[in-house]
Structure 1
Amino acid sequence: MPQFSAAVLAIARRVIHRRAAAEQASPTRPSLLVSVQTDVTRRLKGGLLNGQDPTAVNTADPLRLWIVQVGVIVLTTQLLGLALRKIKQPKVIAEVLAGILLGPTAFGRIPGFTEHIFPVDSRPFLSLVANIGLCLFLFLVGLEIDASVIKRNARLSVTVALAGMCLPFGLGAALSVPLYHIFIDQSVKFTNFMLFTGVAYSITAFPVLCRILTELKILDTTVGIVVLSAGVGNDIVGWTLLALSVALVNAGSGLMALWILLVCVGWTLFMLFFMKRVLYWLARRTGSTRDGPSMFFMTVTMLLVFGSAFFTDIIGVHAIFGAFLAGLIVPRDGGLAITLTEKLEDMVSIIFLPLYFMLSGLSTDLGLLNNGITWAFTIAICSLSYFGKFTGCTVAARVAGFNWREASTIGSLMSCKGLVELIVLNVGLSAGILSQRVFSMFVLEALVLTFMTTPAVVLLYPPELRVRASATGANFASADVQGTAEDNDPRLDGPSTARTDDKKSRFTVVLDKIEHLPGMMAITQLILPPPPPYSEHTLSIQSSAELDGKDVPPPPPIPPVSIDAIRLIELSDRTSAVMRGSNIEALTATDPLLDIFTTFGALHGAPVSSSLSIVPFDDLGATVAEQAQRTEAHLILVPWLPPHHSLGAHESHPHHAPHSSAQQATMATPLPTPRVTSHMQNPFEALFRATAAGAEERDASISHSHFVRALFASSRTDVALFVDRHTPGGVAKVSHGGTYRLLVPFFGGPDDRLALDFAVQLCANPKICATVVRVSKADVVVGGAGLGAGAGDKLPAYGEDDRKHAGDLHQHQNTTTIASVFPDTVYGHATTQTRLQSETADNIAWARYTQPTDPALSPALARMEFVEEAAPAPLHAVLERARKMSDAAVEEHSRLLVLAGRSRRFAVENHHAELKTITEEYGGVGGEVKRTVGDVTTALVVSGCQANVIVFQAALTPESE
């Protein structure tokens, strides 16, 4: 039965026997050099070029065939994983299906496939590597289990865990009676078979359960916390029962079984109480808890893993139990367990585990399910297994205080089987307790129940019904906290959510990467209310009044601002990512980005609440949108770094048209011409996304653009995208005196109106002034002095070249169809009625600030200049004004900030043709830039304008979409 140690000893005996036979066959022992030359010659003669089959079995040199086997297994697993990932199925489904397909069920029926790829003589080597990987995987499972989770939620989790094991174990024991008499050899003891059946029924796949909880974003709900705690307890009890079952099977008598159990209990106590302290002392001594595991600590840990596995194997308990114990005793301080997992998980999940499932697949033949009685028992196995887990956990959760919907969700989650049951089944098969037919029946049951978990939870527990745990963490006292989580959330303290004006006071700030942090600090400083004016005379009066005992009038109230910072981490396929997701509280408290930003808010007197979300890449945008709705934010602030390119002000570009003489006369310095190359969309970017290490900066920006566009598409809250145009280490991101000049190009539409309102709010700060330009398109008067009516003397000077260019542009624009507009910047079909309504709203918004009637707006409007400008090329006019204001800002030691709307929603003009002309002038730009920031900001980015830009999108509503 000791599979791990037996495989090691068998291969060792084979190698020693072959060496002894070789020495006895030769009268004189050849020298080492002659042996090496003979071996090399033999290898060369037996190569592929000599006509030898590379898949031929060679026990003296098994590496060649082993590499072929690994390639076939890994390739099949990864291809299935890519397909199943689209329907949110865990990776274990792909691994099990790959093993079944490569076994006798499917590919094994192809003549010669099994004999060439997985011959019987090669399986001992495959089994050795697979069992080594299984020990490492159980070590990772032990690292993943945190006993403190059970302690914090013992009242609820223990009840659910016990109910979810007792009822399934009883049903499995009852079903084992007919199964034993029909399908099992009577030489097998019924007690052993009943134990394995009961353990297989009562087990819950904790690693797969953690991933499902994280991917469905219910880990921080009351349901998720109880399931996580119950899963930890279920896993520990399940592995203990498995060790007990193996010990009883290997024991020849009851007395021997007792000895095995006593030795196993003694080894467990030795590991938990002695070796745990030794390992903790060693981790602190080597600095592993502070700086990550050192080489010496890793060496000792690996020796301990295989030493414990070897000991539990030779005493009659499976090796995986010893490896599991080694994972339990590793210190959790300083994220040491997560770091250890990061060092081992890739090789285990990519190579070792698929090999183990391949061995399971070779033993699984669904073709044996070929009669009615077999299928009847298979259906009974699946039904009773799900009924036992679902009923036991659901009733226990309902008694604990959950409603029926939440209780049934807990029952569905605890029914997840995954690879843990497959390990139990393989142990039973290798021990001869399960027949191949019964093994195939139970494998199908594990596959079906694991596949059902995600759809059932999505159906039973939709996002709008989920109850988040309170801010104090998972240590809630009762399940009757529904409706109180948000009431107790400190992020909702402060002003009433009722909006009395257009000022925004609740902000959700997105923190994604460290390079986005400076930009978020800069824009956060802008939205903070200005400090009260300081006066020495006022201070002396207050001091005198306090000394005289007089009442000092309070200072005028400052509008409160609350900021919710959300840290986004992408959920990868790695186990360490899931471990981070199950330890959100500690990760939030130690995250450096949140720490820096929270400190920044405290220094500026702004309350900052922090949260952290670990979700798949496709759900990042929806997660931010849900967080903003949950905290009732008024505006989402999200960063974006466009691709940086080398700038050359004096270098020519093949598509760069020369400026006219009038433009050159007005330009103090020429606009820099970025070397930008158009990026073609790769259809496989969704699969092979460029967020891996070593990806180019441009590709990383494109990946971030997908997230930003997903947020724009799903948000029901106003969004402000901060486009940081400064390279790290370049020009300072903030001005010397904290002063800003704002430019607001107003074309019309909801997004531009939002930008205008926000500019008025910012100008309440005495250090900020703004210029708002209402730009409209003017017809060209050829041969005349003017270019449009109503422009007055505010029009820039244009020459003959510009008139010709504007005429060509006008002709080109008349031929432009709606299909050429970027889809991400168009919202629905704009009818004549909606356009008239939008124009009316634009006129009302413009008149509100140009002809103010509200005295409260006077201080802000006094620092704002409103200009109406008509031009044949509106985007060119905006670029010219931005350049002039940028030059003036440099002279004033201030910074220029452009506030622009993202879309042309409900607007008449179409900038596509002019934007195409601008890209021909200054160089191409990737399509991701256009679809992310819209036409106006794209023109600023392409032209090389170094001003930062805030791109606004008004909240999407069902009526506006």
Structure 2
Amino acid sequence: MPELSKAMLDVSRLVLHKRAVQEQGGLLSGQDPTAININDPLRLWIIQVGVIVLTTQLLSLVLRKIRQPRVIAEVIGGILLGPTAFGRIPGFTQHIFPTDSRPFLSLVANIGLCLFLFLVGLEIDAAVIKRNARLSVTVAMAGMCLPFGLGSALAVPLYHTFIDQSVKFTNFMLFTGVAYSITAFPVLCRILTELKLLDTTVGIVVLSAGVGNDIIGWTLLALSVALVNAGSGLEALWILLVCVGWTLFLLFFVKRVLYWLARRTGSIRDGPTMFFMTVTILLLFGSAFFTDIIGVHAIFGAFLAGIIVPREGGLAIALTEKLEDMVSIIFLPLYFTLSGLSTDLGLLNNGITWAYTIAICALAYFGKFTGCTLAARFSGFTWREAGTIGSLMSCKGLVELIVLNVGLSAGILSQRVFSMFVLEALLLTFMTTPAVTILYPPEIRVRAAATGANFNSADAQGGNGDIPRLEGTSHSRDDEGKSRFTVVLDKIEHLPGMMAVTQLILPPPPPYAERTPPTDSSADLDGKGVSPPPEVGSTPVSIDAIRLIELSDRTSAVMKGSNIDSLMATDPLLDIFTTFSALHGAPVSSSLSIVPFEDLGATVSEQARRNDSHLIMVPWLPPHHHTAGANDHHPAPAAEHTANATPMPTPRVTTHMQNPFEALFRATAAGAEERDASISHSHFVRALFGSARTDVALFVDRHTPGGVAKVSRGGAHRLFVPFFGGPDDRLALEFAVQLCANPKISATVVRVTKAADGQGLGVGLGERVSTEKSPVLGEGERDGSGDAGAHHQNLATIASVFPDTVYGHATTQTRLQSETADNIAWARYTRPSDPSLAPALSRMKFVEVSTPNPLHYIIENALKMSETAVEEHSRLLVLAGRSRRLAVENHHAELKTIMEEHGGVGSEVKRTVGDVTTALVVSGCQANVIVFQAALASD
């Protein structure tokens, strides 16, 4: 009898035949809360759900650390709760999973199974097969024929050794072959997404082959159930024909009606309406009911209902988002627990049983791996890529468990054989991720071409991939400036900041007066004018916008990952940003990545290397702001800024302004939810800092979401660059020179050195520059000292392991290396010899200061410049280095004093942005900040 109908009848019998009045006093009257009450089974059902969900969630937390899919935790949890483990505890099964409660648990689990198969149908997109039919069909057929043959051959000794002879051999052989040939498409989809293989040629083939494999597998399962439920061959034929007719009716008539209804109700445009959801759910259970009563399992009807839902406008993804949480949290664990209650690994208690179990596992993996590997190799893939395809197609997951449960409920499989196959499915699913990681590491992956899958070039690539592996050095920093940028977009609130900083990096258009037709003397033979020498920053700018979406445990996130092309076309962040850039004449290439949180930083780094970017720009916008204004902080009067005076400490304040870090990390500043989100974002930024082999700029935006943005009049900006030394500060200085090519941007650069107490000498910000300090080496020594030699390499290794501010040891070698590189950079702009630098340098002031309190000096002048910028209707932007690698001085003692004066911040702040920027944001400076980290040299 079909499983769903049987479960409903069992529940009816229990309710009708046991009508005795139960005590209703509850716990207060001494009643056992786990006692089964047939008339009111909810109490025990809640206990069962609680035990099941907690067990599976705890296991998933552990298995997630080794990148195992959630289904592994659910299967192991079900086995532990069954007779294999917890069932051996006296009284556990009798109180938590008594026999009389099984029908209720089975009914809910089978309803959830129908919903899950509906979601599986929603995941399957026939267009994926059509786009890659040549290879996917070959791999899918090879991955089904060989395993089916091996399973059928193994069924002969299994049948004669373990199966009751009353079971027809043909039925057992068919179920064994289907279990061997099936591939778990939902689990396979998640593994491909987590391993970032969806955009590779291997991933595309596996995804397409998995779709075809799943469709054929469910069809074979329907045929198997029809043969089991039929009394004769003629009856089986009628069942099969009716099932085919129902399938054609759904695919060619109901599908069109559903599409018309979706458009009529606006569900494709605005998401599923309540009426459309109602019709879809009725269709789901109606189709499941029909296939159940004709002798095919109800899950096949639910699967067909999911296939016919329109995919346009992301409707299938939206439907999945509405259903998936209850299915994955409640229903599926219940189903796997029922499987676990039927799985007793203790039955594998003799040598012959274990020999057959090993044979089942070995032949199942050999059949899938060999068939798919050979098919992929003959199609042109390398052996590594072909082996990866074979390993991925060997994933069994929950699909085989569903097949096994259907066979067990139909009486075809015995408890012992069922346990043997459950162990095989668990082992093969567990092996998939480690095998793929070993066979197909990131450095040899071949990405799909922009126009489609790059299948024909698989052999030519030799397995080396098409990602250019670049050294982590600054690109054309000294000559051309930075022209290729990678912009990170992850949240809508970060968009204003990225648009603002993008406008800064774009070269300004020439004044209208300069756009005059060429005269005869300036025209060449083609009638084109002779262009003047380009200024710094006039290099054409290209931008690569990468949209980041965190991969969650939800099925809809996996569906989005397999439909990136359509998602990119409708993503609002990419649409707004590309439109903004196009209006400003900057070409933008966009990409979208859906990856786990721990891989976000590495994904951005890889994207920057692949596109040969010069600078990665990362946004930062605090989710919580205080409302205190700029007038809460009053810098010292201008008269106090004397050359020999040590700045007075800023008075301690009780109300802080919009501090983007204090509100994020301090326990008293914001709610736990805000702090957690901000700490997570800082972890992503630090991971990017630690893995990037490209220059990185963290843009701290002070724009308040929902408030009035402080936009400068006419786009004027003032830059403030505190220069302490080191590669990060040199990068900030060079970027400031590039920005100042824009006539609307001016800059003040202050080179600060720490003097002993009482020996502070400096030049005020209003005075002329003095450049008579350190000696400058000749041109021949510039390249060798700019990167600071081997010691830089050692510190780069340290910084990549501990992505924090790194201070070199105070050795003579370190000091000379750092000062030499700093002096070269400083002299290049204070004593310019390149005429192309003149326009930019004319808008820059260079100041040298020696003071015992450098951070106090920077804070005081930044506050003063911030007020001046407000009066001038411009905007102040601070460019600061993140750390002082190869510098021998540190600011820990002074920073501690500053935090005592203004209020402290968490350690995450200093570890993310460095000491100088931490001092600025703690002090209450209103300016936006760009924190730079120079590229780390790679081996």
Fold shared per TM-score above 0.5: yes
Is 1:616 equivalent to 2:596 in the alignment?
yes
Find the counterpart in structure 2 of residue 890 from structure 1: 870
Is 1:471 equivalent to 2:443 in the alignment?
no
CA distance in 1, matches of 2:865, 2:664: 34
Find the counterpart in structure 2 of residue 150 from structure 1: 129
Find the counterpart in structure 1 of residue 897 from structure 2: 917
Q: For residues 240 and 130 of structure 1, do their structure 2 counterparts lie closer, same or farther at Cα, with a shift above 3 Å needed?
A: same
Q: Of residues 490, 493, 500 in structure 2, which corresponds to 1:512?
A: 490
Trace 1:309-708 onto structure 2 (pairs within 5 A).
309-474=288-453, 479=458, 482=461, 501=479, 503-535=481-513, 539=516, 551-556=527-532, 558-642=538-622, 644-648=624-628, 673-674=655-656, 696-708=673-685
- Letter in structure 1 aligned against 2:112: G
Asked if 2 retains the 8 angstrom alpha-carbon contact of 1:56 and 1:65, the reply is: yes
SS at match of 2:719: strand
CA distance in 2, matches of 1:702, 1:578: 25
Find the counterpart in structure 2 of residue 860 from structure 1: 840
CA distance in 1, matches of 2:808, 2:405: 57
Give CA deviations for 1:443-495 in whole Å, capped at 9, x if unaligned.
00000000000000000000010011011234866755748999899xx9xxx
CA distance in 2, matches of 1:247, 1:827: 73
- Letter in structure 1 aligned against 2:93: T
Asked if 1 retains the 8 angstrom alpha-carbon contact of 2:712 and 2:875, the reply is: yes
Find the counterpart in structure 1 of residue 777 from structure 2: none
CA distance in 1, matches of 2:465, 2:486: 16
Asked if 2 retains the 8 angstrom alpha-carbon contact of 1:152 and 1:475, the reply is: no
- Letter in structure 1 aligned against 2:105: L
Find the counterpart in structure 2 of residue 873 from structure 1: 853
- Letter in structure 2 aligned against 1:751: D
Q: For residues 741 and 430 of structure 1, do their structure 2 counterparts lie closer, same or farther at Cα, with a shift above 3 Å needed?
A: same
Alpha-carbon distance, 1:60 to partner:
1.1
Alpha-carbon distance, 1:764 to partner:
1.2
TM-score by length of 2: 0.90
Find the counterpart in structure 1 of residue 93 from structure 2: 114
Give CA deviations for 1:869-901 in whole Å, capped at 9, x if unaligned.
112211111011111211221222211110000
SS at match of 1:737: helix
Is 1:274 equivalent to 2:253 in the alignment?
yes
Alpha-carbon distance, 1:257 to partner:
0.5
Alpha-carbon distance, 1:651 to partner:
11
Asked if 1 retains the 8 angstrom alpha-carbon contact of 2:547 and 2:574, the reply is: yes
Give CA deviations for 1:698-724 in whole Å, capped at 9, x if unaligned.
432222111101100111111000011
SS at match of 2:512: coil
Aligned-pair identity (%) = 81
SS at match of 2:713: coil
Alpha-carbon distance, 1:948 to partner:
0.4
Find the counterpart in structure 1 of residue 781 from structure 2: none
CA distance in 2, matches of 1:217, 1:671: 50
Q: Of residues 235, 239, 252 in structure 1, which corresponds to 2:231?
A: 252
Q: For residues 793 and 342 of structure 1, do their structure 2 counterparts lie closer, same or farther at Cα, with a shift above 3 Å needed?
A: closer
Find the counterpart in structure 2 of residue 73 from structure 1: 52
CA distance in 2, matches of 1:426, 1:793: 79
- Letter in structure 1 aligned against 2:656: P
Alpha-carbon distance, 1:908 to partner:
1.9
Q: What value does the CA root-mean-square deviation take over the aligned residues?
A: 3.1
CA distance in 2, matches of 1:925, 1:897: 22
CA distance in 2, matches of 1:504, 1:484: 32
CA distance in 1, matches of 2:635, 2:717: 32
Give CA deviations for 1:370-417 in whole Å, capped at 9, x if unaligned.
111111111111100000000000000011110101000000000000
Asked if 1 retains the 8 angstrom alpha-carbon contact of 2:487 and 2:544, the reply is: yes
Alignment gaps of 5+ in structure 1 = 23-38, 684-689, 782-786, 797-817
Asked if 2 retains the 8 angstrom alpha-carbon contact of 1:679 and 1:927, the reply is: no
- Letter in structure 2 aligned against 1:427: V
SS at match of 1:674: coil
Is 1:943 equivalent to 2:933 in the alignment?
no
Find the counterpart in structure 1 of residue 760 from structure 2: 788
- Letter in structure 2 aligned against 1:709: R
Alpha-carbon distance, 1:223 to partner:
0.3
- Letter in structure 1 aligned against 2:614: H
TM-score by length of 1: 0.88
CA distance in 2, matches of 1:180, 1:482: 48
Give CA deviations for 1:278-335 in whole Å, capped at 9, x if unaligned.
1111111111111111111111111111111111011110000000000000000110
Find the counterpart in structure 2 of residue 775 from structure 1: 752
- Letter in structure 2 aligned against 1:770: A
Give CA deviations for 1:831-854 in whole Å, capped at 9, x if unaligned.
542332111111111111111122
Q: For residues 251 and 121 of structure 1, do their structure 2 counterparts lie closer, same or farther at Cα, with a shift above 3 Å needed?
A: same
Find the counterpart in structure 2 of residue 49 from structure 1: 28
Alpha-carbon distance, 1:671 to partner:
10
Trace 1:750-829 onto structure 2 (pairs within 5 A).
750-781=727-758, 787-789=759-761, 791=763, 824-826=804-806
Q: For residues 259 and 829 of structure 1, do their structure 2 counterparts lie closer, same or farther at Cα, with a shift above 3 Å needed?
A: farther
Asked if 2 retains the 8 angstrom alpha-carbon contact of 1:308 and 1:323, the reply is: yes
Q: For residues 587 and 477 of structure 1, do their structure 2 counterparts lie closer, same or farther at Cα, with a shift above 3 Å needed?
A: farther
Alignment gaps of 5+ in structure 2 = 769-797
Trace 1:53-132 onto structure 2 (pairs within 5 A).
53-132=32-111
Q: For residues 84 and 827 of structure 1, do their structure 2 counterparts lie closer, same or farther at Cα, with a shift above 3 Å needed?
A: farther
Asked if 1 retains the 8 angstrom alpha-carbon contact of 2:152 and 2:174, the reply is: yes
Find the counterpart in structure 2 of residue 687 from structure 1: none
CA distance in 1, matches of 2:460, 2:590: 22
Size of the aligned set, in residue pairs, is 890
Find the counterpart in structure 2 of residue 847 from structure 1: 827
Alpha-carbon distance, 1:12 to partner:
3.3
Q: For residues 366 and 771 of structure 1, do their structure 2 counterparts lie closer, same or farther at Cα, with a shift above 3 Å needed?
A: same
Asked if 2 retains the 8 angstrom alpha-carbon contact of 1:671 and 1:943, the reply is: no
Find the counterpart in structure 1 of residue 696 from structure 2: 719
Is 1:931 equivalent to 2:907 in the alignment?
no
CA distance in 2, matches of 1:533, 1:658: 38
Q: For residues 646 and 348 of structure 1, do their structure 2 counterparts lie closer, same or farther at Cα, with a shift above 3 Å needed?
A: same
Asked if 2 retains the 8 angstrom alpha-carbon contact of 1:134 and 1:352, the reply is: yes
Asked if 1 retains the 8 angstrom alpha-carbon contact of 2:664 and 2:678, the reply is: no
Alpha-carbon distance, 1:942 to partner:
1.1
Alpha-carbon distance, 1:912 to partner:
1.3
Give CA deviations for 1:178-221 in whole Å, capped at 9, x if unaligned.
11110111111110000000000000000000000000001100
Give CA deviations for 1:803-838 in whole Å, capped at 9, x if unaligned.
xxxxxxxxxxxxxxx9xxx97111676654233211
